[in-house]
Amino acid sequence: MENIKAPRGVRDILPDESWKWASIFEVTRKIAEDFGYREVHLPIFEQTELFSRGIGETTDVVEKEMYTFSDRSGRSLTLRPEATASMVRAYLEHGMASGPQPSKLWCTGPMMRYERPQKGRYRQFWQLDFEAIGSSSPLVDVEVIALSLEIFRRLGLANLEVLVNSVGCPACRPLYRTALQDYLRMHFDSLCPTCQGRFDRNPLRILDCKVETCKAITDGAPDVRDHLCEECRDHFDEVLKGLDLLGAKFRIDKRLVRGLDYYTKTAYEVLSGDLGAQNAVCGGGRYDNLAEAIGGPHTPGVGFAAGLDRIVLTMEQQRLGFGTEPSIFVMVVVAEESARDEGLRLLYELRKAGVPADMDTSGKGVKAQMKAAGTAKSNFVCVLGSSEIEKGVVAVKEMATGTQAEVARGRVVADLAARAGSARR
């Protein structure tokens, strides 16, 4: 019988990589605290209508990429393809508008989209998601952008650059949409099939097409900034002023429109290093009409999402460190079976003292146990045999130097705990 394997487009995050994710989470959690953001945990599936109404019926996500199913009661449910709609739903459902505004929230977890798997892109992918809900101030846009830049700065990413644009609002975007369609209509036959399909449903997405012929056509397309209403123009100017105050490197990109319908006004991406054409490490923007789209009152918001796979890939490409890989600080080695009980007692005393420790439980010989200690990159080995037990000592070997000394059984745990604490610092 053939072994069952993981479905196409998903992968296991194994120990040789998961510690890197944990390191990124640790940095992210600290920055969230520094900026006053509180963590939430969202359900992994929602009512399908949340995404179809919130993200937009004509988006690729809703039309082609959602994992949707009916439960036993016949309700249509969808595995979350992104977190923003869920975050706004939670904000509305739990009355967060009654507290200080904006509500600064963040989460991390898996998202699911059915799309073609490729390097750094999977059908199940983990994202960091930050949202500031309840304020229309452009200063909040600037703070969100600053927060994302700070995450990548502390992780050590090189050549950080912000691409920024305004996508207008329901008052002015229809005028731009018409102007864009009038321009594209003259080149319709030269557009790729995907963009031809977007022409009526979602023409702004044509600006984001990576096909060279479409890129050449949209080089001459009207600029959305020439069609902004006064409110959107003033908002965008304040965002640019704020980025200047931050000293952030940024560039206005008229092609930047984002792929989801809920975006209004600010749209942005952060780029780092070089991953070919896909070097964006996060994307986000403002979504002032999302709450209304899902049945709530008008509630402005702004946020961003960043994929863990993309961050790790970029950090590895730039040869950045992830901190210290977790390892077993002490390996307990029993020289003979009669010492096993005392070895177990020492093992659990070390763990209770906060010292990462382990020991063999399969009855291997001393040589094999010492080899295992080397494989585990242990700092120290505690050897226990009948002679050590009789003398009331533990033979402690420092693996880096090979030096070995007998330490009184009564103080060996405190001694190793102190050494482990120094190593962490």
Predicted local confidence at residue 425, as pLDDT = 65
Predicted local confidence at residue 273, as pLDDT = 78
The dihedral through the CA atoms of 183, 187, 191, 194 has a sign that is positive
Report yes or no on 167 lying in a domain. yes
Pairing of strands 393-398, 380-384: antiparallel
Q: What is the average per-residue pLDDT within 357-365?
A: 91
Q: State whether 132 and 57 are in the same domain.
A: yes
Sheet containing 280-286: which strands, arranged edge to edge? 38-39, 103-112, 124-133, 301-307, 280-286, 264-271, 161-166, 250-252
Report yes or no on 195 lying in a domain. no
Q: State whether 82 and 19 are in the same domain.
A: yes
Q: Which residue range forms the structural domain that includes residue 335?
A: 330-424
Please give the residue that has the higher pLDDT: either 81 or 208: 81
Q: State whether 361 and 291 are in the same domain.
A: no
Q: What is the average per-residue pLDDT within 272-291?
A: 81
Predicted local confidence at residue 30, as pLDDT = 97
Q: State whether 155 and 287 are in the same domain.
A: yes
Provide the 10 A C-beta neighbour count for residue 82: 20
pLDDT confidence tier of residue 277, bands split at 50, 70 and 90: very low
225 has a pLDDT exceeding 80: yes
Report yes or no on 312 lying in a domain. yes
Q: State whether 307 and 343 are in the same domain.
A: no
pLDDT confidence tier of residue 60, bands split at 50, 70 and 90: confident
Which amino acid, 148? S
Report yes or no on 102 lying in a domain. yes
Mean pLDDT of the chain, nearest integer: 92
Q: Which residue has the tokens 């705990």?
A: 417
Q: State whether 138 and 261 are in the same domain.
A: yes
Q: How many domains does the chain have?
A: 2
Q: Among the three residues 317, 339, 367, which one is the final residue of a domain in this structure?
A: 317
Buried b (16+ CB within 10 A) or exposed e, 199-215: beebbbbbbbbeeeebe
Q: State whether 59 and 125 are in the same domain.
A: yes
Domain of residue 102, CATH code: 3.30.930.10
Report yes or no on 191 lying in a domain. no
Q: State whether 374 and 409 are in the same domain.
A: yes
Q: What is the average per-residue pLDDT within 12-33?
A: 95
Predicted local confidence at residue 58, as pLDDT = 62
Q: Among the three residues 296, 317, 338, which one is the final residue of a domain in this structure?
A: 317
- pLDDT, one tens digit per residue, over 369-398 is 999 999 989 999 999 999 999 999 999 999
Q: What is the average per-residue pLDDT within 51-72?
A: 83
Q: What is the average per-residue pLDDT within 332-352?
A: 94
Q: State whether 282 and 336 are in the same domain.
A: no
Please give the residue that has the higher pLDDT: either 59 or 35: 35
Predicted local confidence at residue 280, as pLDDT = 87
Q: State whether 51 and 104 are in the same domain.
A: yes
Predicted local confidence at residue 6, as pLDDT = 92
Q: Among the three residues 317, 339, 374, which one is the final residue of a domain in this structure?
A: 317
Q: What is the average per-residue pLDDT within 173-183?
A: 91
Classify residue 411 by burial, with Cβ atoms within 10 Å: 0-12, 13-18, 19+. exposed
Report yes or no on 301 lying in a domain. yes
Q: State whether 267 and 118 are in the same domain.
A: yes
Domain of residue 344, CATH code: 3.40.50.800
Report yes or no on 205 lying in a domain. no
264 token code pair: 């209004």
Report yes or no on 284 lying in a domain. yes
Predicted local confidence at residue 386, as pLDDT = 92
Q: State whether 278 and 313 are in the same domain.
A: yes
Write the secondary structure of the chain as one string of H (helix), E (strand) and C (coil): CCCCCCCCCCCCCCHHHHHHHHHHHHHHHHHHHHHCCEECCCCCEEEHHHHHHHCCCCCHHHHHHCEEEECCCCCEEEECCCCHHHHHHHHHHCCHHHCCCCEEEEEEEEEECCCCCECCECCEEEEEEEEEECCCCHHHHHHHHHHHHHHHHHHCCCCCEEEEEECCCCCCHHHHHHHHHHHHHCCHHHCCHHHHHHHHHCHHHHHHCCCHHHHHHHCCCCCHHHHCCHHHHHHHHHHHHHHHHHCCCEEECCCCCCCCCCCEEEEEEEECCCECECCEEEEEEECCCHHHHCCCCCCCEEEEEEEHHHHHHHHHHCCCCCCCCCCCCEEEEECCHHHHHHHHHHHHHHHHCCCCEEECCCCCCHHHHHHHHHHCCCCEEEEECHHHHHHCEEEEEECCCCCEEEEEHHHHHHHHHHHHHHHHC
